Amino acid sequence: MIFTATALAGAFLIDLERNEDERGFFARSWCQEEFAAHGLNPRLVQCNISFSWRRGTTRGMHYQVEPHAESKLVRCTMGAIYDVILDLRPASATLGRWLATELTAQNRKALYIPEGVAHGLQTLRDETEVFYQMSEVHHPECARGVCWDDPAFAIEWPWVEKRIISDRDRSFPLWRP
């Protein structure tokens, strides 16, 4: 795996290191030892899949607070997403900053999201699937979110004619530091 630090402290883009031959390729997509060696949370306790029928589906901005804060490894396995992370960690040098990257089934990149960083996405194609590896099981009492279009962050989402977003995600509050 090839780990590339991003502009948000503790967040990494992870590329596959392919071993190719005439059949195709083989690559490691997860290694506890390599994650730990890069200072990332190597704990893996739950995997989730989200599937969206339509382009323009927006999910987020989600995170989970202590005592069940979670890190995530996010990969698009079908279609394409505009993946957004937002640093909400009070002691972070990058507090309030966001970063976006395109994850696709073709580029096979993954995004590592540390604890305290909110996550959201917008599908760029119909029939898009996202695979999540989580360091913590879901605890509804610790689930939080901030408004996906909060002016305090000015996240630059791709334009879509029709945005599809859940009532829950629409109801998240504006951020209060």
Q: Which residues are catalytic?
A: 62, 132
Q: Using CA atoms, how far apart are residues 82 and 57, in angstroms rounded to an integer? A: 10
Cβ atoms of 111 and 130 within 8 Å: the answer is: no
Strand ranges of the sheet holding 117-123, from the earlier edge strand across to the other edge: 98-104, 80-87, 117-123, 58-64, 143-145
Compute and round to an integer the Cα radius of gyration of the chain: 16
Please enumerate in sequence order all residues whose Cβ is within 8 A of that of 48, keeping only pairs 6 or more positions apart, or say none: 131, 132, 134
3-state SS class at 140: helix
The distance of Cα 137 from the centroid of its chain, to the nearest Å, equals 16
